[in-house]
Structure 1
Amino acid sequence: MTRPPTAAQRRLIETADPVTGRLHGTEHQLTALVRRGLAFRHPRPPHDHFLTPAGHRIREAVPGAPAEPAPDTPDTGVFAARVGGEEKPPGPGPARRREVHGAWQGLLELRRMTNPDGAADRPCGWERAHLVRAAALALEAAGHRPAGGDADGYRVRATPQPEAVAVHAPDAETLTACAATLERAGWQVGEYTEPRTRARYLLASPRRV
């Protein structure tokens, strides 16, 4: 039976980057996580260490680690893509755009590192485990406006369907643009009608091949 990580290793895992899983620690600490299969050393310089899927699972079980954000989740100081409709959204501006761009580039690198064939054109395991956050990041990084305050825009929501999120938009043009962005980001997208309200929405799932 595999021994659980030590308290020191858990602290290292808990403070990993929430999107890329990049770790910071001494060479001895990082090597110990690699031996346990909880981290891997990137083959390219500067040879940073990142959490494996097993490491991400442990991180999400650590008390205090950020979970899937709800629309009314307050700002905790940890980056989270705008899902639309947040009660206290982060302020817009150059700093937010840089933050979103950095998170998207980090996610593309995570795809290259963790997809079996190194492909960056389709979602990776982390995205399949964080569907709402992943879809929202793709939309925000592409410049789409999320709903919030006096502005109406996209809203990304979880669904009962496995590996699928719903994306709502205020008009057909915005909905079509969101669909195109998600398809370019490696998602399979279909447009549907809500039976009760007759509103159109997208159902998006991460593409596997």
Structure 2
Amino acid sequence: MTRAPTAAQRRVIDAADPDTGRLRGTEAQLAALVKRGLAFRHPRPPHAHFLTPAGHRIRESEPAVPEEAEATEARGVFAARIGGAEGAPASGPARLREVRGAWQGLLELRRMTNPDGAVDRPCGWERTHLVQAAALALEAAGHPPAGPDSEEGYRVRATPQPEAVAVHEVDGARLRACATTLEEAGWQVGEHTESRTGVRYLLASPRRM
């Protein structure tokens, strides 16, 4: 799991442009943030550095006090709830703030890395982190993830198909609502039925155009 940023790195993150997430710092500082997944280097000149969704989450969070440093390090950076596999789903204002910051960071990442600057279509990072990206879209829209011992709530899982995830939800109405959310977030979604169990589920892929 990614370690929490150092105090110097946190200052660089906190000083990022509030609108674009552009960073300013030494080459060593910026390289370290890239290595930790908190920043990315834009492929086009002047090759500026910008916050990733995880970096935005750090900026939106409250600074960790010294007594909390060990817990913060263990907690690491933001991870969307994929449903079922984690512990009890986090809730409350702190989690809402984290999710909101991560989603805004992802939209900015789309704007900066999609060739046409589109924010209504998934970017390259999402295509290499399909489960996390789909789960973030669902959680940011207010859908509850399933707990480890609960049948209710969404579950996002990888599939053998390239660029496709499966989304399960026991409630049919909620399943359709999940489909609407993903479509609005730029995903192509189809509803399918498992031949053996008859269970309905979604198959979702990032839209390219």
TM bracket (short chain) = 0.5 to 0.7
Query: Any idea what SS the aligned residue of 2:42 has?
Result: strand
The 8 Å contact of residues 89 and 146 in structure 2, kept in 1 or not, is answered as no
Partners of 1:132 and 1:32 lie apart in 2 by 26
Return the letter of the residue paired with 2:25: T
User: Kindly tell me: are residues 200 and 41 of structure 1, through their superposed partners in 2, closer, same or farther at Cα, counting changes over 3 Å?
Assistant: closer
Aligned match of 1:7: none
User: Kindly tell me: are residues 42 and 88 of structure 1, through their superposed partners in 2, closer, same or farther at Cα, counting changes over 3 Å?
Assistant: farther
Task: Give 1 or 2: higher helix fraction.
Answer: 2
Aligned match of 2:55: none
Aligned match of 2:98: 99
User: Kindly tell me: are residues 176 and 117 of structure 1, through their superposed partners in 2, closer, same or farther at Cα, counting changes over 3 Å?
Assistant: same
Query: Any idea what SS the aligned residue of 1:204 has?
Result: strand
Aligned match of 1:29: 28
- Give the % identical residues: 69
Query: Any idea what SS the aligned residue of 2:161 has?
Result: coil
Gaps of 5+ in 2: 1-8, 14-20, 33-39, 53-73
Aligned match of 1:6: none
Partners of 1:31 and 1:94 lie apart in 2 by 30
1:95-134 equivalences under 5 Å are: 95-134=94-133
State the TM-score, normalized to the length of structure 1: 0.68
Paired residues, number: 161
Query: Any idea what SS the aligned residue of 1:132 has?
Result: helix
State the TM-score, normalized to the length of structure 2: 0.68
Partners of 2:81 and 2:89 lie apart in 1 by 8
User: Kindly tell me: are residues 186 and 27 of structure 1, through their superposed partners in 2, closer, same or farther at Cα, counting changes over 3 Å?
Assistant: same
Gaps of 5+ in 1: 1-11, 17-21, 53-74
The 8 Å contact of residues 40 and 51 in structure 1, kept in 2 or not, is answered as no
The 8 Å contact of residues 39 and 51 in structure 1, kept in 2 or not, is answered as no
Partners of 1:105 and 1:117 lie apart in 2 by 18
Structure 1 runs (4+) deviating above 6 angstroms are: 22-25, 30-33
Q: Structure 1 stretch 138-147 or stretch 90-99: which is displaced more?
A: 90-99
Partners of 2:150 and 2:186 lie apart in 1 by 31
